[in-house]
Amino acid sequence: MKYCIKTLLVGIDHELPDDPSISYDGKEPFVGCNHLVCDSCGAVVHYADGRSTTSNNPRPAAEMQALYDSSDPCSSPLFTKMVSDQRSRAYFCRCNWHAADLGGVVFVARIDAPWSCGGHEGAAMESVARIRLNWAANVSPAFATASELRDSLLSSYPDAARYGAPLVGRNLEDTAPAWGWVSELLRSRTDWWPPIGIALQHATTDGGDLARTALVELLAHFTDSIALLPWTAPMAVLWPDRRTIHTAATGWGGPDYRLDAVIRSQREYTDVVCGNRRAFLHGYGVDGAPIIGPLTNEAELRALLVSSARAGQSPDGDKGPWSWLTTKLLLRGETWLWVRPAFLHIASTIDQTDQAMVCALLDWFTEEHDLWQFLPLLESWNADRPSWWNTPADTKPTAWKRTVRAGFWPNVKTFGDAASEARKRARCQVATPPVIDLPLLYGTAAR
């Protein structure tokens, strides 16, 4: 089963395929989704060519139901039939409608209708889904395989001549490491770690000194890069003296910030963290106090999750009550292998009447860390909606410092909308499984 990377409504000027296996891969030319499903009424979305809607808001429920049941919706007086509508296409379900007018394209994520791609069985291989990231104005990596990821790395510093280094411009006058987008990928897709590590080995080997500087910049400035040690450590032996451009944001590798020193600091860090069987969650307790406790099994993990959910703090302003968990999930040590399945079990068995725990989980979903693993849970919520589904997204549990971050996703007005959006994003992750089409160059295969 494949899903559209971006779900589109399209006017007559764009393809709406008859083949139910075809999904849209996010690239031009635009392709409309031919299997839209309404998350509210459960109906498969229908359409009428050469028609547009008579208003932005749907008609009363009885009229929408009659339209959906009609054998000839094109003749319905609810639609307009002007000359200008000849290039339009009206979409409708039992409870909502929207039109792609004048041959245009409408992104479903930007409209009020609660529609999503229902999936495409046996989707054609030419519609390969790609992971797409936006790092800078002229750096937007897109890839489906390790070799394409390598190519994205090597094309990530188009302004190297301007800056004299593998940097990109961000936020007007700011610069950032060219390969910094790898950190975002590491946090969201642990299943992609092996292709990332192998692609980095190839890019660093093929790209010369510029690429080797980009590598040490990535490792020195982003804590998440510790996940890549099995692939990056062997390269420190080959190019030990490559240095960062600026002082390392992590502090690793000082005072010279050479590649070999950065790797040494990363190893020391992981040895300390992986050897500590207790959690010290600075800023996550009530009024910003630390939460301290053992962390050796599922019961202790659940206790820490409950404490931080109840406190509802947002350390540094950009985190949520469970952001500390993502850091634990990035650790590769044997000590921490149990954390991921334990958390998945805890999330799947949360008391749906426990508002703080539900909110903490919805908030954590915004970090999009391995959302694909939570798709069965999200699908079950959509099929059998919990009591909190229609709760306004700006509802804040007692003692919480801020509202759930999922409320800032596009068109999210309720907790149910947030869950539906997480479900869409999880489906996109399912549609982009890791593909390793390059050999490992250094070290031994790791995972």
Map out the domains of the chain as residue ranges.
Answer: 8-117, 134-271, 278-430
Q: Please write the tens of the pLDDT for every residue from 94-120.
A: 889 999 998 899 998 888 888 888 888
Task: Write the Ramachandran bin of 257: left for phi over 0, alpha for psi from -120 to 50, otherwise beta.
Answer: left
pLDDT band at 28 (very low <50, low <70, confident <90, very high): confident
Report the chain's mean pLDDT, rounded to a whole number. Answer: 90
Q: How confident is the model at residue 38 (pLDDT cuts 50, 70, 90)?
A: confident
Residue 15 confidence (pLDDT): 92
Contact 179, 166 (CB under 8 A): yes
Within 13 Å and on the Cβ side, how many CA atoms surround 84? 8
Structure confidence at residue 247 (pLDDT): 87
The candidate with the shortest Cα–Cα distance to 217, out of 166, 261, 169, is 166
Token pair of 20 as six digits: 């139910």
Rounded Cα distance, 172 and 100, in Å:
35
Confidence of residue 124 (pLDDT cuts 50, 70, 90): very low
Check pLDDT > 90 for residue 39.
no
Lowest mean pLDDT among 13-22, 251-260, 291-300: 13-22
- What is the residue whose two structure tokens read 């930007």? 110
Q: What is the pLDDT of residues 279-328, one digit of tens each?
A: 899 999 998 899 999 999 999 999 999 999 999 998 877 789 999 998 78
pLDDT digits (tens, 9 = 90+) for 211-244: 999 999 999 999 999 999 999 999 999 999 999 9
- Which residues, listed in sequence order, are joined to residue 168 by a DSSP beta bridge? 176
Is 125's pLDDT higher than 50? no
With vertex at residue 404, the alpha carbon angle to CA 321 and CA 172, rounded to the nearest 5 degrees, is: 95
pLDDT surpassing 80 at residue 123? no
Residue 406 CA to residue 408 CA, distance in Å, equals 5
Q: In the prediction, which pLDDT does 334 show?
A: 63
Distance between CA atoms of residues 135 and 184, nearest Å: 9
For residues 257-269, give the mean pLDDT: 95
Structure tokens at 358: 């539900």
pLDDT at 150: 97
Distance CA 363, CA 418 (A): 9
User: What mean pLDDT is predicted for residues 325-332?
Assistant: 77
Q: How far apart are CA 39 and CA 419, in angstroms?
A: 11
Which residue(s) pair with 175 in the sheet?
169
> Can you tell me the mean pLDDT for 119-142?
73
pTM score, whole prediction: 0.73
| Token pair listed for 367 | 């970090």
pLDDT grade, residue 406 (50/70/90)? confident
More confident residue, 426 or 327: 426
Average pLDDT over residues 373-379: 94
Can you tell me the mean pLDDT for 375-396? 94
Please give the average per-residue pLDDT across 232-261, as a whole number: 93
**pLDDT for the residue numbered 3:** 80
Residue 45 is given by DSSP the state P
DSSP character at residue 288: G
pLDDT at 91 over 90: yes
